[in-house]
Amino acid sequence: MNNNNLLLGSYYEIYKAVLVDHRMPDVELMPFMYQGIKLYLELLNNDNDIIKYIQTHQNQSQNEIVQNLLHLFPHYGLGDSQYLALINATQIKD
């Protein structure tokens, strides 16, 4: 049998809910998926903990902020380049 179709089960529903609709899916999730989706959806909010930290520490150098973010928020799984992008997007414009 040569069937090239991939059965996704409820993964299409999860994909659409999270990446398209930016909401928690209505299907039951494994704990690690639930936690990962929850963190992703938190990152989409403009007032998440990472943005708040960046805003309150703008007097520090970017390198200091990145080092602190890597230490304080390892559960997000972000790297230095993602944090730098968030810092640059968050800077208050004069």
Instruction: Tell me the per-residue pLDDT of 35-53, one tens digit each, with 9 for 90 and over.
Output: 999 999 999 998 999 999 9
Contact residues for 44 (Cβ-Cβ < 8 A; gap 6+)? 22
Alpha-carbon distance of 59 to 26, in angstroms, equals 42
**Residue percentage of the chain with pLDDT more than 70:** 88
- Among residues 69, 72, 61, the alpha carbon closest in space to that of 86 is found at 69
Query: What pLDDT, on the 0 to 100 scale, is given for residue 74?
Result: 96
